[in-house]
Structure 1
Amino acid sequence: MDQQLEQMSVDIQKIVYKKAMLHACKYSTEDVIGILIGQINDKNINIVDAYPLFHSRVSLNTLEVSLDIISSELQNDRKIIGVYEAKANSRGIMSEIGEEMLKNINQKQAILMRISQIEVDDAPILNAKIVSLNENVKYVINSTSALEWWVIQDRLKAGLHWKIVDFDAHFENVQLNFRNQYLE
């Protein structure tokens, strides 16, 4: 007897695409990783924000500090519900870190968003894909992949990806705001 898949509806706010994809664009030659913030209810996941974490090095201490800072600022109804990643090459260092972070989130619906470069009409664009880590859960995304690209295209032209601040940059200069509120 086949086990029936549990369907989860996933709503992704535009700000999530903006922060995650601009982070990937700024550090296009490096792996990047960030966290996804939101709410998970019975059959619905709402991803409302993203925080860029790292683009080069990750140590356990800086990871713990960054997660503590973010967790302390979250509203009661929001929590860390997943990870986004973009690989610059096949090294996959961030993927291992992302997998460990997802295990520690300790939710069967933990979200992994993979950002990759694809070609459309011979032009490279970014694509964000939600990947299910739980073989019994199927995600139904409530947005289109075209939306993901168009949400950031004008911001790329304006050079806003150069302003993205992740925790790597914040730890080097604490005056830099890792919240990236200028994108809202």
Structure 2
Amino acid sequence: MDQQLEQVSVDIQKIVYKKAMLHACKYSTEDVIGILVGQINDKCISIVDAYPLFHSRVSLNTLEVSLDIIQSELQSDRKIIGVYEARANSRGIMSEIAQEMLQNINQKQAILMRISQIELDDNYLLNAKIVSLNENMKYVINSSSTLEWKIIEDCLKAGLHWKIIDFDAHFENVQLNFRNQYLE
């Protein structure tokens, strides 16, 4: 007997695509990981912001500090609802870290956004895909891949990917702001 899939609508703000995809572009030869922030209701998930975290090393201490900082700054109606990742190769260590973080979020609807390169007409484009971790759930994304690419394409032309700051860089120099408000 087949179980009926629960459909959940997912709204993703443009700023989320910008931050996550620019993070992946800046460190294209390394694995990257970041946090997704928003609201989760029964039938609708709204992803309103992203915080780039790491592009190289990850230690438990720096991860805990970064999550504490993010949580302390969130508005009361927002919380950490997921993780984004981009792997530089198939052996990426960030995937294991992403899985651990998603388990700690402790929500049946925790979001995983995977960023990858796709080839289209001999050009490489970035693609963001929401992956369901719950086999009984289907996400219905309220945007299109074309929109994702158009958002990031203009940012790349302006060189904004070189300005993206993640927590790795902030940890080395606390003057650097990993919130990346200049993109808003």
CA–CA separation in structure 2 for the residues paired with 1:136 and 1:56: 34
Structure-2 residue corresponding to 1:134? 134
Structure 1 residue 101 corresponds to structure 2 residue 71? no
Letter of the structure 1 residue corresponding to residue 126 of structure 2 = L
Structure-1 residue corresponding to 2:2? 2
Worse-superposed segment, 94-103 or 151-160: 151-160
Shift of 1:14: 0.2
Structure-2 residue corresponding to 1:85? 85
Structure-1 residue corresponding to 2:149? 149
Structure-1 residue corresponding to 2:15? 15
Shift of 1:4: 1.1
User: TM-score, normalised on structure 2?
Assistant: 0.99
Structure-2 residue corresponding to 1:53? 53
CA–CA separation in structure 2 for the residues paired with 1:92 and 1:176: 26
| Match runs of 1:117-132 below 5 Å | 117-132=117-132
Shift of 1:94: 0.0
Letter of the structure 2 residue corresponding to residue 67 of structure 1 = L
Structure-1 residue corresponding to 2:112? 112
Letter of the structure 1 residue corresponding to residue 51 of structure 2 = Y
SS of the counterpart of 2:48? strand
Runs of 4 or more, structure 1, over 4 Å off, are: none
Structure-2 residue corresponding to 1:178? 178
CA–CA separation in structure 2 for the residues paired with 1:134 and 1:64: 25
Letter of the structure 2 residue corresponding to residue 109 of structure 1 = Q
CA–CA separation in structure 1 for the residues paired with 2:69 and 2:50: 14
Letter of the structure 2 residue corresponding to residue 28 of structure 1 = S
Letter of the structure 1 residue corresponding to residue 30 of structure 2 = E
Shift of 1:154: 1.0
CA–CA separation in structure 1 for the residues paired with 2:121 and 2:178: 34
Structure-1 residue corresponding to 2:72? 72
Worse-superposed segment, 1-10 or 169-178: 1-10
In structure 2, the gaps of 5 or more residues are none
Letter of the structure 2 residue corresponding to residue 134 of structure 1 = N
Residues 70-109 of structure 1: CA deviation (Å, up to 9, x unaligned): 0000000000000000000112200000000000000000
SS of the counterpart of 1:104? helix
User: TM-score, normalised on structure 1?
Assistant: 0.99
Structure-2 residue corresponding to 1:161? 161
Shift of 1:120: 1.1
CA–CA separation in structure 2 for the residues paired with 1:125 and 1:145: 10
Worse-superposed segment, 150-159 or 10-19: 150-159
Shift of 1:35: 0.5
